[in-house]
Structure 1
Amino acid sequence: MAELSVVYDCSPVPRSPADVMARSGDCSKTAGPVAKAKWLTASVAEDARKVIEAAFLEAERRDPGHLRPWVALVDGNNHQINRIKTEATKRGVDITIVIDWIHVVEYLWGAARCFFKEADPKGEAFVARKAQAVLEGKAGIVAGSLRRKATMCHLDAKSRQKVDECARYLQNKAPYLNYPKALTSGWPIATGVIEGACSHLVKDRFDVTGARWSVKGAEAILKLRAVRSNGDWPEYFEFHLTQEHMRVHESCYADGVIPEAA
């Protein structure tokens, strides 16, 4: 399992829930903020603590005075959330944690499948209404309405499992579902950047048929791919050649060993 973090800059783009829920071809839709100056780090050898620490170091390099808004987008993993809070507290950073909007919608679709068949257009309308309500800051109300609907439909425990999972998720993650503030502030609310990084940094190279990796070998390739993605390859390769020259041609002389040949 690889742990990934991405740090990037973006200019705020205030939006409304209607902008988020608009269809892709809707002319009135306001486009979301665009990621700039992306920096990636990943590891299969280190845990989330080290990877998130590296992300905070990069963020502090960009904003050493903590003058800009810091926003952390996550998929709801509790360990990652705790590590982000710990790093922010350690550095005195006021950071806002936002749950990835796409993950919330996935939970809503799971709940909808308990009430509607897959091809039923009513299911799409149901998800759209609930999603709009969550974007408006009504996650707790949505959780309660889902449970009530399941009860009124007389669903047994197995049939309503996805409903209860969704309601529990919305209630447990409520502190990180403040989408009204995020949208008004112009912040991103989806983790498309990290999802893309998972694909091109990890899956395109490691998740191929028949591949077998040692942890050490996978870590080395992952680091090289991150260096290349970050645009640091020329500087890195110059450093690599310098270090190789020192190892091959200078290390033996430093100890006073003079090779001779007949």
Structure 2
Amino acid sequence: MAPPCPPGRFPPPRAAFEQLLAGLSDREDASHAEVEEFITTRGREVHRLMLQEWLDQRAQREERLPQVAGSDQVVRRAAEAGHKRLLSTQFGTVEVERIAYRVRGAANLYPADADLDLPVALHSHVLKKLAAVEAVRGSFEAAVAAIERTTGTHMGKRQVEQLVQRAAADVDDFYAYARSSGSGSGSGSGSGSEELLLVLSADSKGIVMRPEALREETRRAAAKKAASGGGPFATRLAGGEKNGRKRMATVGAVYDFAPMPRDPGDVIRGGDNTDRTDRPERSRARAKWLTASVERDAEQVIGTVFDEAERRDPDREREWVMLVDGACHQLDLIHDQCDVRGTEVRILIDFVHVIEYLWGAAWCFFARTDPAAEAWVGQTALRVLGGEAAQVTDALEAQADAEELDDQRRSGVDKAVGYLRAKLPYLGYDIALAEGWPIATGVIEGACRHLIKDRMDITGARWGLAGAEAVLKLRAVISNGDFEEYWEYHTQREHLRVHAIRYRDGLTLAA
């Protein structure tokens, strides 16, 4: 049990606490909800007074130093007590008094600010952390309401946005440090077992941005479209027309995967295996790690994905598999990374994309309501899974020729044939199934929905570049399970930026 507070210590909070107890005595007939609300509201003031009293007593005990040397190499010998600044906390606003060390022509230095690790702006690190957590879960307006509901402190939407941007300032450095030091972090640490596959994946999704935040080519295209009077329709987009409001964000994922050999019949129903009930249980992604950026381009994000893979498997002892949707630019970037790093990775196209092309071909041969189309797609997909993608393309062309389809009716076949032939090097599903590799991009697509769509696509949202980037980074850190570890790293970096950099030899004070 803690010793009792000495008489004369903390008199303002003690008096406020006594008033709180007296208020409780006056509410004997109140409901529990009324009493709970009373304690919450009045208790915040008790807590604020406790913090204020602690700061005041600390100010009284601050020792005057003979001199303080700044990083500008200027020594400050004049000391002036009584300099005050405000600090907004989760309990309310308090006043911090400390000694200023001065010299003509140079900025004041406050060693007590460094000792207290005060933020550069008004809001405390605790409020900044709360703003970061709330703002990445929902809208900034909702974050403002949640902070006020939790702490009683009102913050403006712009203040929350600024705090979030500052909170995300060290995410890239945090993960770069983890890679350079060989340390693991959160769920992304990986097991390091040679028996587990190392799976890499990347995908992109657009975010509606304010005009000044668009990439230059998108902005020029939008301006050109506006100058020409827009598209053919006034109230909707024409087929294939873009509205010129989105900037593509790239999401990357790295995870471990226990190989699970299977055959084509374990993946898809078709032919004689429609009613199979002995399909093996699916293997799940382990130690999933995500990264996302709307500011950096796809090349940089994919490079970061490879960096994380190298951190997990620096000696290339594991099989690397990369799952993609098949975009040509994306494939080129992956090959570039492999060439630069001297790394071999097995690239697979998401099988679900192949299925969609097969369905497009099926509508060339069957009516839209014909159940036979489903059986045809299943049987054709089984052949692709069995390593017969090249034969399937030939068979599709032959069937279209045999049925003498005109150009319009066979467009779905032509698209499927063109897609399959272009992606043949990445359709080795027979090998993938035999080796137990994953063949679908569900992990990265789920990451795109979670990191981008669930937060960035809130109705009416239009993003600035800095705000969108900060929210994406923090959502990825939280998804990786690294937030608490990151926050410790971030506060250390903030201390260096805000305080240590002001003094000669870091925080060594000349005496």
| TM-score, L = length of structure 2 | 0.48
- Paired residue for 1:18? 265
Q: 1:63-109 CA deviation, whole Å, 9 max, x = no partner?
A: 00001000111111111112112212222222111111000001101
Secondary structure at 1:113's aligned position in 2?
A: helix
Instruction: List runs of 5+ in structure 1 lacking aligned partners.
Output: 257-262
- Paired residue for 1:260? none
1:156 lines up with 2:406 in the alignment = yes
1:147 lines up with 2:394 in the alignment = no
- For residues 86-165 of structure 1, what are the structure 2 equivalents within 5 Å? 86-165=336-415
Q: 1:125-160 CA deviation, whole Å, 9 max, x = no partner?
A: 110011001001111111111122222222211221
CA contact (8 A) 1:33 1:186 kept: no
Give the fraction of aligned pairs with identical amino acids, expressed as a percent.
53
Deviation at 1:243, TM superposition (A): 3.3
Pick from 315, 324, 331: which aligns with 1:65? 315
Pick from 447, 469, 474: which aligns with 1:197? 447
Instruction: List runs of 5+ in structure 2 lacking aligned partners.
Output: 1-247, 507-511
Distance 1:31 1:189 in 2: 15
Q: 1:162-194 CA deviation, whole Å, 9 max, x = no partner?
A: 110001111111111011110111100001100
CA-based RMSD of the aligned residues comes to 2.0
1:74 lines up with 2:324 in the alignment = yes
CA contact (8 A) 1:32 1:188 kept: no
- Paired residue for 2:426? 176
1:5 lines up with 2:279 in the alignment = no
Distance 2:432 2:281 in 1: 15
- For residues 238-257 of structure 1, what are the structure 2 equivalents within 5 Å? 238-253=488-503
Deviation at 1:252, TM superposition (A): 4.5
CA 255–212 in structure 1, closer or farther in 2 if over 3 Å, else same: farther
Q: 1:221-246 CA deviation, whole Å, 9 max, x = no partner?
A: 10111111111100111222333344
Deviation at 1:249, TM superposition (A): 4.7
Distance 1:24 1:218 in 2: 46
1:31 lines up with 2:281 in the alignment = yes
Distance 2:453 2:504 in 1: 43
Query: Which structure ranks higher in relative contact order (CA pairs < 8 Å, sequence separation ≥ 6)?
Result: 1
Q: 1:37-75 CA deviation, whole Å, 9 max, x = no partner?
A: 001111111111101110011001000000100011111
Deviation at 1:255, TM superposition (A): 10
1:227 lines up with 2:470 in the alignment = no
Distance 1:97 1:250 in 2: 47
CA contact (8 A) 1:21 1:128 kept: yes
| Structure with the largest fraction of helix | 1
Letter in 2 for 1:8: Y
Distance 1:204 1:227 in 2: 16
Deviation at 1:119, TM superposition (A): 2.2
CA 199–25 in structure 1, closer or farther in 2 if over 3 Å, else same: farther
| TM-score, L = length of structure 1 | 0.92
Letter in 1 for 2:249: A
Secondary structure at 1:72's aligned position in 2?
A: strand
CA contact (8 A) 1:112 1:127 kept: yes
